[in-house]
Amino acid sequence: MTNQDDKKRPYSAEDEEEAFAQMLALAESQEQPQVKSEEPSTKNLRANNSEAVAYDTVQSLSKAEQVAQHYNTRRELGVEGRMHTKITGLRTFNNWVKTVLINENTTPGCKVLDLGCGKGGDLRKWAYARIGEYVGMDIAQVSVLQAENRYKEMRSPSFSASFFAQDCYGEPLEKTIRPPNYQADIVSAQFCLHYAFESEAKVKQMLHNVSSHLRSGGKFIFTVPDANWLVKMMRTKNSETFGNSVYQVKFAQREPITCYGFAYDFTLDEAVEDCTEYLVHMPSFVSLAETYGLKLVYKQGFHHFYGEKITVKKNLDLIFKMRVVDETRPEISAHEWEAIGIYLAVVFEKE
């Protein structure tokens, strides 16, 4: 699900204009930097031999309507624009995480249901994973049309695709998706699931939508802010507001922390400004998900995800192919690295 105006919402799948194929092509034509096999440091990702590298929308609108309005009015930075911003390292690193997460949980020919597909920013990633069928859904109709156009512009796409505009958290998918009983092998929700935590009812509707359209043995994969990390930072800093030059988090209150509807405002430089988000209380979510037949099989913060996955050569190669670091930008800044630590990569499996 996607949310709020050009500078209003947290980082999402559509916040980077996908240049995935272009990145790969560029990388293949260039000599790759040499990286030692020793375990890399995760303090600051480097490309050298020693380390592997809206809120002013109309207040009368419902939250869902604000989400749609945001995505329907976002401007496009373009490929080059997104590769030369203050948070380029963060954007490309998050792209790398999603690519690895997708590659490790898909099989050739599988069916994918992408909740919060935005403008189709992850289509190239799914093509790279050689899926067979794709269904993209998002609350913003204009974004869905752009995603569909992006798919049509792909050269000989290896998978079929269909797109639907709908609130994936507030309504049953059967209202729009065709066929109504569509079953996927993978359900994906990238940088958007936390919006469901506005209320328990929305979380339950979201889980119903995932479970009822995911086959037995299928995977539910998503990336989401880490509530434990956010609350720990608030308490460590002894302040409702914290951050650095890249991001800022502002809680309205410290206590009591509730399982649903515990809001904070999030700002990400050049991308988001004072967007209202909600803590995802993971223990409660895991317990509730089990009642929908969904079992947690993987949960890791992005820093540890990097340290774990970078030991696999193909994942390390992707760091360079996707230009997470390169000769012109040899490392991710310390402030970006701190902001990257906000997020979790999570996988559930349908029983």
The half-sphere exposure of 188 on its side-chain side, counting CA atoms within 13 A, is 29
Q: Report the alpha-carbon distance of residue 26 to residue 39 in Å, rounded.
A: 27
| Domain presence at residue 147 | yes
Q: Is the pLDDT of residue 243 over 80?
A: yes
In this structure, what token pair is assigned to residue 72? 């329907």
| Domain presence at residue 220 | yes
The annotation status of 98 as a binding-site residue, yes or no, is: yes
What CATH number did the domain enclosing 324 receive?
3.40.50.150
Residue range(s) defining the domain that contains residue 341: 13-350
Tens digit of each residue's pLDDT (9 = 90 or more) over 328-351: 889 999 999 999 999 999 999 999
The annotation status of 78 as a binding-site residue, yes or no, is: no
The annotation status of 265 as a binding-site residue, yes or no, is: no
Q: Report the alpha-carbon distance of residue 45 to residue 33 in Å, rounded.
A: 14
Is 292 within 8 Å of 69 (Cβ atoms)?
no
The annotation status of 182 as a binding-site residue, yes or no, is: no
The annotation status of 226 as a binding-site residue, yes or no, is: no
| Residue of 231 and 33 predicted with greater confidence | 231
| Domain presence at residue 214 | yes
The annotation status of 136 as a binding-site residue, yes or no, is: no
| Domain presence at residue 8 | no
Contacts of 314 (CB under 8 A, 6+ apart): none
Q: Please report the beta strands in the chain, taking only residues with DSSP state E, as ranges in sequence order.
A: 111-115, 133-138, 160-165, 184-190, 214-225, 241-243, 247-251, 263-268, 272-278, 294-301, 343-350
| Domain presence at residue 5 | no
pLDDT of residue 272: 85
Tens digit of each residue's pLDDT (9 = 90 or more) over 3-30: 434 344 444 444 443 434 444 443 433 3
Q: Report the alpha-carbon distance of residue 328 to residue 192 in Å, rounded.
A: 31
Cross-sheet strand order for the sheet of 133-138: 160-165, 133-138, 111-115, 184-190, 214-225, 343-350, 294-301
In this structure, what token pair is assigned to residue 58? 């109309």
pLDDT of residue 344: 99
| Domain presence at residue 7 | no
pLDDT of residue 202: 98
The annotation status of 151 as a binding-site residue, yes or no, is: no
- What is the bridge-based pairing of β-strands 272-278 and 343-350? unpaired
Is 343 within 8 Å of 252 (Cβ atoms)?
no
Q: What is the DSSP string of 167-201?
A: -TTTS-GGGT-SSTT--EEEEEEES-GGGGGG-HH
What is the total count of domains within the chain?
A: 1
| Domain presence at residue 124 | yes
Contacts of 348 (CB under 8 A, 6+ apart): 219, 220, 221, 289, 294, 295, 296, 297
Is 137 within 8 Å of 165 (Cβ atoms)?
yes
| Domain presence at residue 344 | yes
* pTM of the complete model: 0.82
Q: Is the pLDDT of residue 216 over 90?
A: yes
**Main-chain dihedrals φ then ψ at residue 184, nearest 5 degrees:** -110, 160
The annotation status of 149 as a binding-site residue, yes or no, is: no
Tens digit of each residue's pLDDT (9 = 90 or more) over 90-148: 999 999 999 999 999 999 999 999 999 999 999 999 999 999 999 999 999 999 999 99
